[in-house]
Amino acid sequence: MPIHVAITRRVLPGKEKEFTEALRHFLGESFLHGGVQGAGMISPLPGTDSREIGILRTFADEAERDAFYNSQLFKDWEAYASTLTEEPNYRQLTGLEAWFRSPTPPPRWKMAIATLCGVFPTSLFLSLTIGPHIQPLPILLRVLIIASCMVTLLTWVVMPQVTKILKPWLRSGR
């Protein structure tokens, strides 16, 4: 299963052009590492004062991700980039979060259907298992409990599986 990683770097003042040029070059070089399946840069909107650059990486799997981040190519890049930016923030993306952050996400209607495939069975499951036990509670508290359980299950259990199963369909026609 592909691994998606989002990196955010805040460029030091006056180093924006140098960093973006070096990053473009490094993104191209990174494809020499066989496990890199995708890489992209997200620049701030023109006319804004933001110095934050986003980097999205997709790896074939966890082993390829780890091999890339332990490679000399990456270590050399990190040493150089650290002279141009503040400390980077790395986040592994899961489930639909990876699609929403992707430079080429599937159409919204496909994301809506994928979400429904996760939400419907999860809400049914929670209604049948937790619902009867929280019935005596006030409505606001019941809704809060169900919503909290729903978000937790969807984020860490259900949607990563749904997107894994629907991956070929989500990617088709892009």
What digits encode the pLDDT tens for the residues 57-75?
989 889 999 999 999 999 9
What digits encode the pLDDT tens for the residues 108-123?
788 889 889 999 999 9
Q: For tokens 């141009």, what's the residue?
A: 84
Query: Is 103 within 8 Å of 55 (Cβ atoms)?
Result: no
What digits encode the pLDDT tens for the residues 71-90?
999 999 999 999 999 999 99
Q: Residue 17 is inside which H or E element, if any?
A: helix 16-30
Residues 116, 83, single domain; the answer is: no
State the pLDDT at residue 97. 62
pLDDT at 100 over 60: no
What digits encode the pLDDT tens for the residues 122-163?
999 999 999 999 999 999 999 989 988 988 888 778 887 888
pLDDT at 32 over 90: no
Any domain includes 102: no
CATH number of the domain to which 71 belongs: 3.30.70.100
Domain end call among 34, 61, 93:
93
Any domain includes 78: yes
What digits encode the pLDDT tens for the residues 8-17?
999 999 999 9
Domain end call among 93, 121, 156:
93
Percent of the chain with pLDDT strictly greater than 70: 91
Which residues on neighbouring strands pair with residue 59, listed in sequence order? 3, 36
State the pLDDT at residue 103. 54
Which residues on neighbouring strands pair with residue 8, listed in sequence order? 54, 89
Domain end call among 32, 67, 93:
93
125 by Cβ neighbours in 10 Å (0-12 / 13-18 / 19+) ranks as middle
Identify the domain containing residue 26 by its residue range.
3-93
Q: CA dist 132 to 45, 125, 126, 127, 159, Å?
A: 50, 12, 10, 7, 25
| 173 pLDDT tier (thresholds 50, 70, 90) | low
Task: Give the N- to C-terminal CA distance of the chain in Å, as an integer.
Answer: 19
Q: In the predicted model, what is the mean pLDDT of residues 29-36?
A: 88
